[in-house]
Amino acid sequence: MGIKRGVSFYSYQQTQFFGKMHWKDMVRELHDNLKCDGVEIIDESTIPHYPFPPEEFIYDWNSFLARYDMKAVTKDIYLDVHQFRDHVMTHREAAERLKYDIRLAAEMGFENVRCLCLVPIDVIEMALPTAEKYGVRIGKEIHAPLPINTKGKKQPTQGMAGALSIHMVDEVIELARRTGSKYVGLVPDFGIFQFRPTDLHIAYVKRHVRNTDEVDWLLENSKNFAPHDLDAAQAAFKAKFPHGELSMGEIEGLSLHESSADPEDLRAIVPYICSMHGKFYEMTEIEGQPGHYEDKAINYADPIRVLNEEGYQGYIDSEYEGQRDQQDRGEEFLPNEVEEVRRHHEMLQRLFDATPNKNG
Amino acid sequence: MFDSYLIRKDSLENVYEDGKAVGFKFAVRIADYRGCYLSLHNGYYISVDGAEYPRELQSFEINGKAPRSFEEIKKCVWEHWDYDDEGYVYVKKDGGLEPGKHRIGLQQSVLAQYGYFPFHDEEWVKNPPVPGKGAGAGKTAFICYYELELSEGGNK
């Protein structure tokens, strides 16, 4: 059996934006060209009139997936705490949104919901009985800049890293163990194995910043700061460029020089993995290997070897994200999402086959 | 995201009331890969040929309903702006825009979030960010510029 291939329809967001692909075209692409059956969606881009889709859509969805023998693997769900605008959503309200999204996922035949890293663990615990009742697992995403195992690193205090609990993975495993529930787990995103900024992103920021020296300086000097120590990177940047234009988020992204997670740490969490996000930015042909592709910024080979050694047989769903750094220019510069995903699947299958899977 | 494509190129036209131009409008898409609860839509930074038009002068048309001010939009907590749908931004300006080309600067503000963000959650309830400063600008942090021709169709 081995590891299974799927696609998050997130990958085709630009093609959908321009009205050139409907979710049914995406299903056909998976079936006819990629020869895979794993479907993942973003609820708020695939489901019409979310959160109250017409019944006709639900029936059409289930029927169409049945026709092509597809598997609804994971539905990505969100938490907008300012929805009510007159107060920040309470945790109990957040749990209601999660329960609602679980019920909707069940209606659409999904096995898992992907819950975001910034969703508090008590919100997940409140929704767990609903997940059990409907047979839908809640998978909390491990997204960069989170580690799997903190290895003694301390909690960052700024930016996205500061808002995320560095102990998120431990919290999820603790909840699963304490409740004995199989309906809470993890969705690791391959972005945690990204070890450098992409060429696409560097070029994008350079097109929008007045002084491109700011970007070059960060790329040259980031290795002098501890990985993911945003405080140090920001202080050094401000000292060098007191009137620098780059935002904290850009400094964080451009300083990346070591992946936030260690592929070896996957071993401990394989039993808790619901599905995985195959995040990638740009597939380029490997020199001297025509028809073989790689993403130069993300380590895929080591994590997949470890997953095979541990006998992981769940899905890796492609999540193409390189388009957004190429949408500030004319149409001739827009990437072809369909082709990018096909290349990604070439790489995935090649790496799956490179080592034996422990469970056959 | 979608920096060059947030405004539909042929959509700029004047808005008339009782035969008088009272402003202009253009068609927009959401600057994200997903739709949003409509209440989260917090207005735009808009400049036309260097002059800024703050949120108080703007209204938004979506879901087949008449244009609504962003104070009204804020209350639409169960309505959704779907990812595939185009909306119209209306801007009040006596006399509308002159015929010809205009340079429009745009930043959309949608208070979409991935969960709790303690550094600004409470502040955004009391003082929502003013569009144009990057905060609440979602996936398109820079102000995007468009050269648009006022459509003839508007000169009724």
- Give the helix ranges, DSSP H, for A108-167: 121-134, 159-163
**Is residue B77 within 8 angstroms of chain A, CB to CB?**
yes
Strands A184-188 and A137-142: what pairing?
A: parallel
Contact predicate A273/A322, CB 8 Å: no
CB contact under 8 A, B125 and A86: yes
Chain A residues in contact with B141 by the CB 8 A cut-off are 247, 249
Q: Which of B35, B74, B122 sits opposite A45 (nearest CB)?
A: B35
CB contact under 8 A, B144 and A163: no
Beta bridge partners of A251: none
CB contact under 8 A, B111 and A327: no
pTM: 0.95
Chain B residues in contact with A48 by the CB 8 A cut-off are 82, 84
Residue of B nearest to A18 (CA): B84
Chain B residues in contact with A79 by the CB 8 A cut-off are 113-116
Measure the CA–CA gap between B140 and A171, rounded to whole angstroms: 32
Query: Which candidate, A310, A314, A202, A188, places its Cα nearest to that of A260?
Result: A188
Residue of B nearest to A327 (CA): B2
Residues 6+ away with beta carbon under 8 Å from A246? A205, A209, A214, A215, A218, A237, A254
Measure the CA–CA gap between A215 and B59, rounded to whole angstroms: 38
Domain boundaries, chain A: 4-195+259-354, 198-258
Query: Which candidate, B79, B78, B77, B59, places its Cα nearest to that of B69?
Result: B59
Token pair 């967001």: residue: A13
pLDDT beneath 70, residues of chain A: 228
pLDDT tens digits, residue range A292-329? 999 999 999 999 999 999 999 999 999 999 999 999 99
Chain B residues in contact with A117 by the CB 8 A cut-off are 114-115
Q: Which of A43, A118, A208 sits opposite B117 (nearest CB)?
A: A118
Contact predicate A256/A160, CB 8 Å: no
Residue of A nearest to B133 (CA): A247
The number of domains in chain B is 1
Range of the domain at B12: 3-154
Residue of A nearest to B41 (CA): A83
The answer to whether the Cα torsion of A23, A27, A28, A32 is positive or negative is: positive
The pLDDT of residue A312 is: 98
Fold of the CATH domain A4-195+259-354: TIM Barrel (3.20.20)
CB contact under 8 A, A83 and B39: yes
Closest approach of chain A CAs to the CA of B47, in angstroms?
Answer: 18
Closest approach of chain B CAs to the CA of A104, in angstroms?
Answer: 16
- pLDDT per position in chain B (156 positions), as tens? 898 999 999 999 999 999 999 999 999 999 999 999 999 999 999 999 999 999 999 999 999 999 999 999 999 999 999 999 999 999 999 999 999 999 999 999 999 999 999 999 999 999 999 999 877 887 887 899 999 999 865 444
In a mutagenesis test of the B interface, which of A42, A250, A323, A327 is the best target, namely the one with the most B β-carbons within 10 Å? A327
Residue of B nearest to A19 (CA): B84
Q: Which of B4, B124, B144 sits opposite A330 (nearest CB)?
A: B4
Measure the CA–CA gap between B125 and A352, rounded to whole angstroms: 48
